[in-house]
Amino acid sequence: MLLAMLLVAAVPAAGASRRVALDNGMVATMTEQPEIFLEAVPEAGEGLIRFAQRLTGTSDTVERIAEANGGRRRLLAGVRYRVPYGLLDDAKKLAVIQALFAADEARADGWHHVIPASGPQFDLWDIARWLTGRGENFRALRDRNQMADDSVERGSRLLVPRELLIPALLAALPWDLDEVGPHGLTYERSGGDEHAVYRLKAGEALYSSVVVRFTGRTYAEDVNALAGEIARLNQIPDVTDMAIDQAVRIPLDLVQPEFLPSGHPRRVAYERGLVDSAQYSNTVRSTRLEGITIILDPGHGGHDPGTLYDGVWEATYVHDISLRVRKLLRETTAARVELSVRDGDGYGVRDQDRLPNSRSHKVLTNPPYLIEDTTPGVHLRWYLANSLYRQALRENGGDSEKVVFLSIHADALHPSIRGAMIYVPAASLRRGTFGKSGSLYDRRAEVRERPQVSYSFKQRTKSEGLSRQLANKLLASFRRNGLAIHPEKPIRDRIIRRRRSRPFVPAVVRHNAVPAKLLVEVCNLSNPEDRRLMQTRAFRQKMAVAIVEGILAYYGESDPPTSRTAP
């Protein structure tokens, strides 16, 4: 009796007009309003945060889940709690829609929706918000289905075209493999396995022309491992002796979204993300970067040398480039320049090619952190950047577009790859709340200011858009200055490691509050030519000049800095 009373308290019965049981004791519910919910029972020992993460994929939804259950934050065993449909992860959204609308069909042209013959009454706006994510799309549905008005009749059918569908439903649609994709890719499905097929051209190799180009893997161990896997799949005995026009099959789950068939859900979701972020662009124009704050972050340092190849420490040389950028900005522009990490006590630029290695780098938090451990060395950087960002907003009237953040690094990729590459933060990979705790962190004023961070969809999407714009300006400047650029997709929004690991955004930009932020890999130290150039002051100065010119271009300036020569 008590359990029944608790169930009624947690989920009001009055609104439950249609209920369909799912797996694991979950129930798909449509109320009379009409609203859609998933009802679920907490697992053993599960609190509200873990409950939210399990069903929605993020803890950002905790407050809205509590609100949907009368403000209850303490979950009771054996009681079902409501999760609003719009908060669910993609798999559960699809399961709920399929349960409540069992007659619906996923076809190649889109989602064929059948209005149930009984149950709650709803209109075209409701269909649009459930199936496309935006009620405002009702007009597009009305026009596509040649409807006289916005009313829907029970038993009638309407098409929701694939370009309007939410990703959860898009993923359920079949797609057409009978097309020719980018770079002449074709596609095949055999025995349940799906592949992209590429035919090698003269001078092309399996490593660079297949693995690096189509799978997004760049690190040497990942490229070598996947090249071996693809060679075995295609029964290639010797990857160094392959015929021109040889067909190479690549498992479709390894192929990056821009190389998938045009209707594939991963490609559609990827392109939709690009469209969403492209609506944001920098509107600030500044003469000589007046009123602009530049935060420079030399990668690694201290007991974390970063990439170490033939005695060349990444941290040593990217710190030198950062100092050169700082010097140019201070001497030739009016920008305010902040450095996140310093080697020793000065900011002097060494007038020499080969540089001595050092372990005295510290993150310039309050108090400073001498980098002895990689993990806090990374996290304290974004805490510091966020504090500097808030300070800049107080001083510039709250204009978030007057701040940029650049983390300067050098890659350790497959040795066949040369040139610079830039990472921007993928909006889809920055969900959730994050923060660090412990005495090391709690001692820092920047951490105490705001221990945890989370960003809304709009903030994440705007950041990706502004960052892409800044990255394009930098790459254009690199080209003008004759600097090598990664030959395949030099702007990337995630790092992909190993066969089954999830893609991720580097922490220094993932948790960073500055809207326009980049991680810039100036070269590939595994490549002999890049490594040789990095050990020359001329290259490092040219890179610094190109970075400054790119920032100037981002703010509408076309004149290069005057201090072009090495100090």
- Give just the sign of the alpha carbon dihedral 124, 130, 131, 132: positive
Give the number of other Cβ atoms within 10 Å of residue 464's Cβ: 27
Find the range with the poorest average confidence among 15-24, 86-95, 461-470: 15-24
For 322-382, the three-class secondary structure string (H helix, E strand, C coil) is HHHHHHHHHHHCCCEEEECEEECCCCCCCCCCCCCCCCCEEECCCCCEECCCHHHHHHHHH
Q: Are 126 and 135 in contact (CB under 8 A)?
A: yes
Mean pLDDT of 30-59: 92
At 294-351, the pLDDT tens digits run 999 999 999 999 999 899 999 999 999 999 999 999 999 999 999 999 998 889 999 9
Q: What is the pLDDT of residue 410?
A: 97
Q: Are 246 and 199 in contact (CB under 8 A)?
A: yes
Q: Does 15 have pLDDT greater than 70? A: no
Q: What is the pLDDT of residue 151?
A: 82
Instruction: Cis check for the bond before 487: say yes or no (omega within 30 of 0).
Output: no
- Quick one: tokens of 274? 């690009």
Confidence of residue 559 (pLDDT cuts 50, 70, 90): low
Find the range with the poorest average confidence among 102-111, 462-471, 547-556: 102-111
Mean pLDDT of 33-44: 94
DSSP-based helix, strand, coil % in the chain, nearest 5? 40, 20, 40
Q: What is the pLDDT of residue 130?
A: 96
Q: What is the pLDDT of residue 7?
A: 40
Q: Are 200 and 245 in contact (CB under 8 A)?
A: yes
Confidence of residue 561 (pLDDT cuts 50, 70, 90): low
- Quick one: tokens of 426? 């993928």
Paired with 20 in beta bridges are: 28
Q: What is the pLDDT of residue 567?
A: 58
Name the strands in the sheet holding 341-343, side by side, starting at the edge strand that comes first in the sequence. 341-343, 361-363, 369-370
Paired with 248 in beta bridges are: 198
Q: Are 260 and 254 in contact (CB under 8 A)?
A: no
Q: Are 524 and 317 in contact (CB under 8 A)?
A: no
439 three-class SS: helix
Residue type, 101: F
* CA–CA separation, 141 and 439 (whole Å): 56
Q: Does 442 have pLDDT greater than 90? A: yes
Confidence of residue 240 (pLDDT cuts 50, 70, 90): confident
Q: How far is CA 313 from CA 146, 232, 302, 422, 454, in A?
A: 65, 36, 11, 20, 34
Residues 6+ apart with CB under 8 A from 477: 546, 547, 549, 550, 553
Rounded to the nearest 10 degrees, what angle do helices 314-332 and 537-554 cross at?
50
Confidence of residue 1 (pLDDT cuts 50, 70, 90): very low
- Quick one: tokens of 218? 């760049």
Q: What is the pLDDT of residue 402?
A: 98
Q: Are 265 and 253 in contact (CB under 8 A)?
A: no
At 85-142, the pLDDT tens digits run 999 999 999 999 999 999 999 988 899 999 999 889 899 999 999 999 999 999 999 9
Q: What is the pLDDT of residue 500?
A: 65
* CA–CA separation, 491 and 519 (whole Å): 10
Q: How far is CA 449 from CA 41, 111, 311, 365, 460, in A?
A: 37, 48, 40, 12, 21
At 268-305, the pLDDT tens digits run 888 888 988 999 999 999 999 999 999 999 999 999 99
* CA–CA separation, 440 and 363 (whole Å): 13
Q: What is the pLDDT of residue 560?
A: 63
Q: Does 17 have pLDDT greater than 60? A: yes
Q: Are 282 and 469 in contact (CB under 8 A)?
A: yes
Under CATH, which architecture does the 290-554 domain have?
Answer: 3-Layer(aba) Sandwich (3.40)
Percentage, residues of the chain above pLDDT 90 = 73
- Quick one: tokens of 287? 């003469």
Greatest mean pLDDT among 215-219, 256-260, 419-423 lies in 419-423
Q: What is the pLDDT of residue 271?
A: 86
As annotated, the residues of the chain forming the CATH 3.40.630.40 domain(s) are 290-554
481 three-class SS: coil
Paired with 187 in beta bridges are: 196
- Does the reported pTM lie above 0.85? no
- Give just the sign of the alpha carbon dihedral 425, 426, 430, 436: negative
* CA–CA separation, 117 and 228 (whole Å): 55
Give the number of other Cβ atoms within 10 Å of residue 69's Cβ: 22
Q: Does 564 have pLDDT greater than 60? A: no
Q: State the chain's mean pLDDT as an integer.
A: 91
Comparing C-alpha atoms, which of 138, 41, 131 is closest to residue 83? 41
* CA–CA separation, 386 and 300 (whole Å): 18
